[in-house]
Every structure is written in structure tokens, then in C-alpha cells.
Amino acid sequence: MRTFLLTWNPGRWPWDNLATVCQKTAEGAPYESDWSTGNSKKIARGDRVFLLKQGEEPRGIIAAGWVTSEEVYDAPHYDEQRAADGETALHADVKFERIVDPAENTPLSVEGIKEGPLARVYWRIPASGTELPEDAARQLENLWAGYLEGIDGPAYLVANDADEEVQEAGFSLEDVDLRAVVFRQIKARRGQQAFRDSLRERYGDQCMISGCTLMDVVEAAHIKPYRGDGDNHPANGLLLRADLHTLFDLDLIGIEPESLMVRVHPDAEPTGYGGFGGLRVKCSTSKPSPEAVALRWDSFLERTGRRWDWRTSTDAKGRPEPKRKPASPAAEVDPGLRPLRALSIRQPHAEAIMRGVKKIEYRSGPTKIRGDIYIYASLGRYSADEEAGMLADYGIDDVACDDLPRGVLVGTVELFDCDGGQWHVRNPARLKKPPKPTRHPQPVWFHPF
């Protein structure tokens, strides 16, 4: 994720509905628009942008948001006359989380900054597209947060009266366009105080990823993006440090439904967040909604293009894990290579299903498929420590991580019921000679032959 400056000069382009969109974002709803990127072609989906008001005083930062288009594109020039002459300009789609009306509030002044990385930034830029160094971007984020607190109050958004009572009924998951609403959460932050308090009571006073106990910087994060009071159930929430909250909202951090392992998007790994990959979400007896986590995990996989290679199997010191003699296989049957669908599942979850230990497969939504299916043990790997932890959780202590079969059909199971994203299975039966599928495996369902 990179940070860029966009510019707006009222003398060149009058923003006729500015007051309206400012009020809209002040109420927590993002404002979508395309915006000129100058000559920059580097801006891409997920990048952070700040809008710099140029021209006559008062000048300064008046908005912040996120890029939603995959890349920049040609569109008619923002100047109507030049557009009429057939001229185009580079644009990107942006969701502004907050826009401040300079007629009501003085913009965040940046030209006079004398200390820190921002002191090295040249602000009289002629057009959009200037990229900020990472240290300058961090300083600007902090200044912007403080600036908004001065306007909106410490919570950014006043809690709704309806949020004073947390829903006691079970959390219900509904289909939702995740990317269409996550940006309003970055704006809300520690609003909806009752929701945050319910999460603290459920999980304790700490960030559930980093373990940070400074609650002043720990926020209430929705797993399924907030669309109404029903989403304020504590099962649909996590307590996350502010920066991790933003990464989670942007699908730059994901949580695996089965193991509650944290995964970090490749774009975020080299920026100092790679160390969080492989940590387990910190929760004990109470866990977040598996359906909501599965739904959000699918959104994370979409962002990454489902391309994962989670290292080779090593111990905690990075050495190859020692081989151990595999356990004697359980009683095996060979139902033959029937024309069944196959469901892709990573190890050691596939092994746990074959042993009858794991009887529910968590997915992002329901399925109408019933009856016998193949279990395909996919090639994807966790780290050795993660796999060892999962084996221990399943009570499997007679097989090594490296001895688990992968890339083959390990057996059949009956999928007999479905409760939302909980797929209930029974009657596991191993194949005596696990075959490789002749057709290319897919992330969920596929026909292996």
C-alpha cells in the first residue's frame, strides 16, 4: 500500500455539490468519485490518497480515502472545454471516507510543517500523483486523525442511540458486497461505544492480533462490514490496533476460518507487517462467528488472487522438520473412483475429517450439495509450527506434518447437512491408494475425473 496526494483547485474545477458530499461523509457514508491522477500511472487499488486543496487560501488537506480501481485509466478531461475537444486524462476511482468543507472548517495546514518527514515534502505541486515516502505518510495519517478529532470528537462518529443495547440474539450472516461498505468502517473507528464495550467484555482488553494492551489505540472492528444494528453483535467483531484495523478493512490482513491464523497480503509484508503472519487470533472460550470470518476470508483471497505458498515445513528455528514414522492407517475401504465432486481442503484439516475428528467444514456460505463427496488434500502448506499446533488441537499425535498426503484424493465423506456456512460431514472412508485428480483442482468444488 502506497500513499499519494491528489489535488483540487477550485479555480480550475468548481465542486458544485461539495457541501452535500461533506455532510454525507460526516454522517459516516463514503463518497465515491473518479479523480485525476496527473501523470502518475503507479496508483492502484488499495492505495491511500489525501486530497490537497490548492489555489486561494485556505489551502491544505481536506479529504482522505482509498483507491478502488485496479489501476488508472483514461477518461474525459475534468475541464469541460478540453473534454469537448476530445482530450483525456488519467483517472482512478476513489472512495473518500471523509471530506471536510473548507467553507466551514479550515483545511489541515501542511505547508508550514518544520519538523519530521513532512517537512521535506514540496506542497505546491501542480497536479495529482505525488507519492509520499512511508515515514511522511505515517506522520500525515497521525496529523489527519488529530485534525478530525478536533472536528468530529475523539470517537470520530457519535454512537447511535440504538447501539446502547447489544443484540442478544445470535449473529445472522447475510450476503453482502464486502468491498462496497468497508470504507465507512475506517471512518467510524471507535464509534458505537456499546459495540466496543461488548467486545472488551468478550475478548478482554487487548488487540487480538498484536496483543497491544494500550486501549487508547485499540478499536472495534466489524468482521462482516457494518450495515445496521444487527451487525453490532460481538460475534461479528474483533479488537484490533488502529493500523491493523485499517489493514483488515482493506483485506491486506486476513484470518483463516479454520485455524484463526493471521495472513498478511504480499503487498503489506515488506512494510513491517510480515511478522504478524502466522499468529493466531487471541481468543479463548469465546470465538468470533465462523461464518463471518469465512466470508471475510473469501474477500481476502479475492484481493490476493488466491495465490498462496505458505513456506516449506520448518521448525521454530527455521530448520527442516524431522521426519517421523507415520501412524498405521485407519481401517480403509475403497469405494472405487466414482464420479463424485471433490472438495479441496488443506492438511491437517483433511486428515482430521478422515479420522472423524472434524465434523464441520466452515465455508463462507451454504451449499445445496448433499451425499458422498471426495476430500482432496490440497498442496497449500502452513508453516511447521502452525501445522503442529493444528494437529495438537485435533488430538493427532501419531503423524508428522510432512507425512500427511497432499495433492491427492484421500477419501470420501458424506455431506449430510448445512447450517449457513457450517457444512456437516460424517462417515469418512479412506481410499486405499489415494489417486491424483486428472482434472485441475479448484479452490472449493471441482470434478476430479
- At 449 the pLDDT is 78
pLDDT average, residue stretch 411-435: 89
pLDDT band at 156 (very low <50, low <70, confident <90, very high): very low
Residue 367 has pLDDT above 60, yes or no: yes
pLDDT at residue 174 greater than cutoff 70: no
Which has the minimum average pLDDT: 71-75, 150-154, 332-336?
Answer: 332-336
| Domain regions of the chain by residue span | 3-152, 161-304, 342-446
**CA distance linking residue 366 with residue 417, whole number of Å:** 10
Q: Does residue 245 carry a pLDDT above 60?
A: yes
Amino acid at 203: Y
Q: With 60 as the cut, is the pLDDT of residue 160 above it?
A: no
**In this predicted structure, what is the pLDDT of residue 152?**
65
Which contiguous run of DSSP H or E holds residue 83? helix 80-84
For residue 131, CA distances in Å to 38, 196, 277, 444 come to: 12, 35, 27, 39
Residue 367 CA to residue 56 CA, distance in Å, equals 59
Range list of H helices, 120-259: 134-152, 178-188, 193-203, 242-249
Q: Residues 346-376, buried b or exposed e (16+ Cβ, 10 A)?
A: bbbbbbbbbbeebebbbbbeeeeeeeebbbb
What is the pLDDT, as a whole number, of residue 228? 57
Torsion of CA 348, 350, 355, 361, to 10 degrees: 110
- CA angle (389 as vertex; 421, 204 as ends), nearest 5: 70
**How does strand 31-36 pair with strand 88-99?**
antiparallel
What pLDDT is attached to residue 381? 80
Predicted pLDDT of residue 227: 59
CA neighbor of 439 nearest in space, from 341, 356, 350, 372: 341
Provide the mean pLDDT of the chain. Answer: 79
79: pLDDT strictly greater than 60: yes
pLDDT confidence of residue 172: 54
Contact indicator for 265, 1 with CB cutoff of 8 Å = no
Segment 177-202 shows an average pLDDT of 62
**Would you say residue 442 has pLDDT above 50?**
yes
Q: Say if CB 68 and CB 95 are below 8 A apart.
A: yes
Task: Write down the pLDDT at residue 321.
Answer: 36
Strand ranges for 227-286 from DSSP E: 237-241, 253-255, 262-264
Classified by CATH at the fold level, domain 3-152 comes out as ph1033 like fold (3.10.590)
Count of CB atoms situated within 10 Å of the CB of 337: 13
Which of 12-16, 74-78, 161-165, 439-443 holds the top average pLDDT? 12-16
What is the pLDDT, as a whole number, of residue 428?
92
Q: Exposed/middle/buried for 51, CB within 10 Å: 0-12, 13-18, 19+?
A: buried
**Bridge partners of residue 362, in order along the sequence:** 422
pLDDT band at 242 (very low <50, low <70, confident <90, very high): confident
The percentage of the chain sitting over the pLDDT mark of 90, rounded to a whole number, equals: 22
- Across 195-200, average pLDDT: 89
Q: What is the model's pLDDT at position 392? A: 87
Q: What pLDDT score does 230 carry?
A: 64
Residue 89 has pLDDT above 60, yes or no: yes
* Res 262: pLDDT: 92
Q: What pLDDT does residue 317 have?
A: 33
The answer, yes or no, to whether residue 176 has pLDDT greater than 70, is no
Residue 414: predicted pLDDT? 92
What would the pLDDT profile of 279-337 be if each residue is shown by its tens digit? Answer: 889 987 889 988 889 888 888 887 776 544 333 333 333 333 333 333 333 333 344 56
**375-397 confidence digits (pLDDT tens):** 999 888 877 888 888 898 889 98
What band does 139 get if pLDDT is binned at 50, 70 and 90?
confident
Parallel/antiparallel/unpaired status of strands 342-345 and 88-99 = unpaired
* CATH of region 342-446: 2.30.130.30
Rounded to an integer, the average pLDDT of 50-71 is 90
For residue 210, pLDDT beyond 80: yes
DSSP lists the bridge partners of residue 187 as none
C-alpha cell at 415: 455431506
Q: How far apart are CA 399 and CA 388, in angstroms?
A: 10
Pairwise CA distance, residues 403 & 419, whole Å: 33
Mean pLDDT confidence for 61-75:
89
